[in-house]
Amino acid sequence: MKIALVYDVIYPYVKGGVEKRVWELGVRLASRGHEVHLFGMKYWDGDDIQKKEGVILHGVCPSYPLYSDGRRKIPDALIFSIRIFPALVREKFDIIDCQQFPYFSCITARAAAAIRHTPLVITWHEVWGEYWYTYLGWKGCFGKLTERVVALLTQNNVAVSETTAQNGKSLGIPVATIIQNGIDLSRMDSIPPSPEDSDLIFVGRLIREKHADILVDAMAILIRDHPDLRLLIVGDGPEWDVLRQQVRVQGLKRTIRMAGFFNNHDDVLAAMKSSRVFVLPSTREGFGIAALEALACGLPVVTVDHPENAICDLVTEKTGFLSSLSPDSLAACIKKALVSGIIIRPACIAASKSFDWDAVAVRAEQYYMTVIKGYRDE
């Protein structure tokens, strides 16, 4: 198969769950003999088209900062969606898989697919629905309308989690199948723990929906009785300066280390292996790869019980704790996790075993082939 994967942000130049999924699938599908093209913004020097680990990268436009005032920038998403059209029309693909976010690119991918008589798959990582109004105020009606338009572009909609699929169905999005995210289990097993340990670790982009500020407040509560506790925050984003100021004002500079993003993902996994509990108080997760990686490292997961947080799909009474969105509740759950961590460690590792990128790539490959066959039989 000649496969086009479309997402404006490319891993490892930018690190996040969607970027990681697209990249891991691309590399593995290429290793299985398919010709894989990844279309995104250009993050590298030199030619616009380069080959890396078997994947052909297309930089269709310059890379732009993703956020302005904590929100994704609409003009840059529009530029990418316009530039992606001629790039997709220029070549004939057997299938195009476009990530649902940032939406506009799905519309131009649909147009290119129609011109080239190519089936289009849209992979849904999140469904926002009513959250658009929280995100944009009254302007959220335009976001909600755009989401509904994208939902009508194809019947070949993939959800990355059961939560995302259910949220999609509630909005009338016809989800054809669920292809979950994964982790590289064999590689993870080979990575030794970091020499620098921590008690708690947070891994994620520093955006409002991740609620790292709630975690900082929870740490202020925890150190009253446990002054030696240490938290490592791995990540960067628009909330960085606000969070750093919060840490300073609360006198937690010795308690909380803000490390930014690590250039090598192995270093993130090593840091997890040197920690005791993974905490991500997010209210919006389409899947939660970092939480799955934490489970594979034997860490119990503490997250927020929220209908739009798909990490909840991974957390059972044997693998972690669900908190409400408050510092007191989060602190209480963290205490439980610290006490029971060693006991539930085997269950955490066992829960991760069915999520391997190789198996995920096979499921994606089979689904693509089914879609292509159905398209040709029409």
Q: Is the pLDDT of residue 377 over 80?
A: no
Query: What gap in Å lies between CA 92 and CA 116, rounded to an integer?
Result: 6
- Of 132-146, 165-179, 322-336, the poorest mean pLDDT is in 132-146
Query: What gap in Å lies between CA 105 and CA 92, rounded to an integer?
Result: 18
Query: What gap in Å lies between CA 244 and CA 253, rounded to an integer?
Result: 9
Q: Is the pLDDT of residue 324 over 80?
A: yes
Q: Could you tell me which residue, 229 or 15, shows the higher pLDDT?
A: 229
Please state, as a whole number, how many other Cβ atoms lie within 10 Å of the Cβ of residue 104: 20
Strands 95-99 and 2-6: parallel
- Residue 289 CB partners (closer than 8 Å, separation 6+): 17, 20, 21, 181, 182, 183
- Of 84-88, 167-171, 242-246, the poorest mean pLDDT is in 167-171
pLDDT band, residue 12 (cuts 50/70/90): confident
Q: Is the pLDDT of residue 25 over 70?
A: yes
Q: DSSP secondary structure string, 311-351? A: GGGT--TTTEEEE-SSHHHHHHHHHHHHHHHHHHHHHHHHH
Q: Is the pLDDT of residue 378 over 70?
A: no
Calculate mean pLDDT across residues 304-308: 93
pLDDT band, residue 303 (cuts 50/70/90): very high
Q: Is the pLDDT of residue 172 over 90?
A: no
Domains in the chain (CATH in brackets) are 2-182+356-377 (3.40.50.2000), 185-352 (3.40.50.2000)
The confidence score (pLDDT) of residue 70 equals 66
Calculate mean pLDDT across residues 354-363: 93
The confidence score (pLDDT) of residue 366 equals 97
Query: What gap in Å lies between CA 271 and CA 121, rounded to an integer?
Result: 36
What strands, in cross-sheet order, belong to the sheet with 95-99?
Answer: 49-52, 55-62, 35-42, 2-6, 95-99, 120-124, 157-159, 175-178
Q: Is the pLDDT of residue 243 over 90?
A: yes
- pTM greater than 0.75: yes
**For the purposes of burial, counting CB atoms within 10 Å of the CB of 171, is it exposed (0-12), middle (13-18) or buried (19 or more)?**
middle
Are the CB atoms for 19 and 7 separated by under 8 Å? yes
Q: Within 13 A of 248's CA, how many CA atoms are on the CB side?
A: 6
Query: What gap in Å lies between CA 320 and CA 331, rounded to an integer?
Result: 14
Calculate mean pLDDT across residues 240-249: 96
Residues forming a β-bridge with 234: 203, 260
Query: What gap in Å lies between CA 12 and CA 206, rounded to an integer?
Result: 17
Q: Is the pLDDT of residue 269 over 80?
A: yes
The confidence score (pLDDT) of residue 296 equals 95
Calculate mean pLDDT across residues 199-227: 95
The confidence score (pLDDT) of residue 16 equals 81
What sign for the dihedral angle of Cα 206, 208, 211, 212?
Answer: positive
Tokens of 114: 């129609």
Q: Supply the mean pLDDT for the chain.
A: 93
- Judged by DSSP in three states, 81 sits in helix
pLDDT in tens, 74-127: 888 899 999 999 999 999 999 999 999 889 999 999 999 999 999 999 999 988
